[in-house]
Amino acid sequence: MKKWFTIVLIVICFVPSFAQNLVPNNSFDSITSPPDDYAQICRATGWSSPSGFCSLMVGEGSPDFYHEDGSNGANPPNTFWATVSPYTGGGFAGFAPYYASSPNFREYVQRDLSAPLTVGTTYEVSFWLTNGVSTLHNYGCNNIGVVFSNAPLTQPSGGQPITSVTPQCELTTVFYSTTWQKITFSYTATDTFKYICIGNFHNDNSTLAVFQGGTGSSGTYLYIDDVLVQPGKSTPVELIDFNTKTVLINIWPNPSYANINLQILLPPDLKDETEIRVFDVSGRIQYRRKLNITEVSSRPIILSLHDFSPGVYLTHIFLNGRSVASEIVVVQ
């Protein structure tokens, strides 16, 4: 006898209009006072440096703060180090993840979250970066990472890298851009972390820095704006009615940077083999996998996206001679 069932597809995706950003003052717009010198990150309300300094201390990590109400080189677009304007709003920050003339010198920006992360919840973690147009800092580098922690991090003296922690999110490719670019990750919380810190958590030997040409050779200096940490939201996108039985399919997070989680919840009496296929927009198969009933029912299937180029892909799930499809989006 032919089996009939209903497939319900729910994609876990990010819905900015409803999801709460857990990073207060994420655009560096709120200020305690206008910046007028180097190293004044703590004048952006809530933000600080793990070095503990909020004024220029030569040889110590001292990230900068820029605002449209600032003065001197802290007033964009003509900043201390480059020509750059905020991505949104009136403020943004700047930090050095690599410095050719000062071995292992690092700067970081950090702050508390508005609420602790929830264990098991998948979050979108993103921010906008640019090198600006500079004649001083013409290196790009990798290892731009995000660390979530239960307490504020402390940077070793002398501006040395914080290597005692492992970033939960990290850009492993070299970044260099004179325009604003969005960096996006997905992260499933393993603890009720309360703080976020952004920077390079590796020493020079583990960092790839690439000279981009031009006259400047000091190192890498990055501007950052619009930091986002928000949970995914469940949004039903497709319902296919095959009558009596129900199969629930969840895909999250979407968009994603690293991995997609696929969960297929089957009725206990349904024993059919399942197959997953992922196609690019040209119809070419990029991923194919057959799953037995034990694999499907025991835990979510993790699809690694590391070999996927950024773009839109179509995921087909075949079950009992039927299929259901949904778009997934891979971001850089």
d(CA 106, CA 126): 21
How large is the average pLDDT for residues 269-275? 68
Q: Is the pLDDT of residue 4 over 70?
A: no
Pick the CATH number of 41-231 from 2.60.120.260, 3.40.50.300, 3.40.50.720, 2.40.50.200: 2.60.120.260
Residues of the chain with pLDDT > 90, as a percent, come to 51
Q: What is the pLDDT of residues 95-138, one digit of tens each?
A: 999 998 899 999 999 999 999 999 888 888 999 999 999 988 88
d(CA 70, CA 34): 5
Look over the chain and give the mean of its residue pLDDT values, rounded to a whole number. Answer: 84
Residue 17 makes CB contacts below 8 A (sequence gap 6+) with: none
- Asked whether the beta carbons of 318 and 247 are under 8 A apart, the reply is no
Helices (H), ranges, the chain: 293-298
In the 8-state DSSP scheme, what is residue 24?
Answer: T
Report CA-CA distances (Å) from 72 to 4, 35, 133: 71, 9, 18
d(CA 228, CA 329): 18
Q: Is the pLDDT of residue 72 over 80?
A: yes
- Boundaries of every domain in the chain: 5-15+233-330, 41-231
Structure confidence at residue 290 (pLDDT): 85
Report CA-CA distances (Å) from 98 to 131, 168, 175, 224: 12, 20, 12, 15
Q: Which of 56, 196, 25, 213 is nearest to 131 (CA)?
A: 213
Q: Is the pLDDT of residue 263 over 80?
A: no
d(CA 251, CA 12): 6
Q: pTM score, two decimals?
A: 0.69
Structure confidence at residue 292 (pLDDT): 73
Its CATH architecture, for the domain 5-15+233-330, is: Sandwich (2.60)
Count Cβ neighbours within 10 Å for each residue of 225-257 and write b for 16 or more, e otherwise.
Answer: bbbbbbbbbeeeeeeeebeeeebebbbbbbbbb
Q: Is the pLDDT of residue 42 over 90?
A: yes
How large is the average pLDDT for residues 323-328? 74
